[in-house]
Amino acid sequence: MTKKSFRIAVLPGDGIGPEVTEAALQVLEEVSSRFDLEVETRSHPIGWAGVQEAEHPLPAVTRRAVEEVDAVFLGAVGDPRGDDLPPELRPEAGLLELRKTLDCFANLRPARAIPALEEASPLRPERVRGMDFVIVRELSSGLYYGEPRLLDRSGEESFAVNTMRYTEGEIRRVARVGFDTARRRSGRVVSVDKANVLETSRLWREVVSEIAEEYPDVELDHMLVDRAAMELVLQPTEFDVILTENLFGDVLSDEAAALTGSIGLLASASLGQRAGIFEPVHGSAPDLAGRGIANPLAAILSMALLLEHGAKHPEAAAAIEGAVENVLAAGVRSPELARAGERASGTREIADEVTRALEIP
């Protein structure tokens, strides 16, 4: 009997997306041959690339493809040339539609202090040492999708509306992912909201507390989002799982990325009932695109998350994570991480180093 291969839709996207995707695919090839994994990859356009190829940020071919695969790997989406397009045709709209299409409602963003990079963190080493938490961000609702939404320029004074809307069910399902994640870790959830001002947050707090009763072994605290932003800088090592709604999670995850020393290191997994989406947290960085200097580690680590959560192959994922740590410990630095006097490596060179580190059993 032939082994059924694991099918991945690869969406390189825009800016540095294609470069970091290529690096991640190189690492995937190495790891799949080492672990005897049968993987099938096929690339499709999204974002500005989709607009150029098919006049839509999530072209029909791409939409069909992602519904038929086991996992989606995404590079990055966004290009300033798309800024003046109508909202539904902007590159970012393609990403939001993709998340909606696959109903990826739980976005996991692990943030860990890497010992070799202590000096790169904007925080003092003793403050960031041992930092290891996961942000579980609700990804399918809230302000990103709520109706009505509009920008009205017809009157004397323009106005705009966005709606933050959450149903109990939407909160419940992501809360369970948060508690399950905590169970596999140190067993602590901090649920972040703005319950002193927002009704959605009051419901959020209520539902999360209800779900907590199903998890007596997990400790739950509630924290207001402004305080959470502060605590992340003051005591980042105190967090284990941060559970929060869509926009708060977006903002806090960039802050978390910065604490590790570079946004070029943070990976993410977006999970639902269907294929998951695995993508680096950094954006398309148009200013860096095409120069071969983008840090591919977030993409490579996203490939590790794909192997862990998508292909259910934790050993292959751990091998990649170990190789990345070894490469950093050996002093390999992408340009944004290299300090004065340190040699910087480009995208390809870093991919080669990780690939080589994987060959050593």
Let me know if 193 is a catalytic residue.
Answer: no
Single out the residue of 92, 138, 245, 353 in contact with ligand IPM (rule: CB under 6 A). Answer: 92
Does residue 250 touch Mn ion according to CB under 5 A?
yes
Q: How far is the CB of 153 from ligand IPM (least distance, A)?
A: 23
250 is catalytic: yes
> Which x/- pattern over 209-248 shows residues binding Mn ion (rule: CB under 5 A)?
----------------------------------------
Nearer to ligand IPM, 144 or 239 (CB): 144
With a CB cutoff of 8 Å and minimum separation 6, the contacts of 333 are 339, 342, 343, 344, 345
Using alpha carbons, list the distances in angstroms from residue 14 to 52, 78, 109: 11, 6, 21
As a whole number of angstroms, the distance between CA 126 and CA 275 comes to 39
Binding status of residue 250 toward ligand IPM by CB under 6 A: yes
Residue 78 touching ligand IPM (CB under 6 A)? yes
Let me know if 144 is a catalytic residue.
Answer: yes
CA distance 8 to 41: 5
Q: Choose among 274, 270, 272, 298: nearest CA to 284.
A: 298
Contact 302, 27 (CB under 8 A): no
Residue 77's binding partner, choosing from Mn ion, ligand IPM, none, with beta-carbon cut-off 5 to 8 A by kind? ligand IPM
Q: Which residues contact 275 (CB under 8 A, 6 or more apart)?
A: 9, 66, 67, 69, 70, 71, 72, 102, 310
Residue with Cβ nearer ligand IPM (46 or 358)? 46
Q: Taking CB within 5 to 8 Å according to partner kind, which of ligand IPM, Mn ion, none is near residue 92?
A: ligand IPM
Where on the chain is the footprint of ligand IPM (CB under 6 A)?
Answer: 77-78, 92, 95, 250, 281, 283
Residues catalogued as catalytic:
144, 194, 226, 250, 254
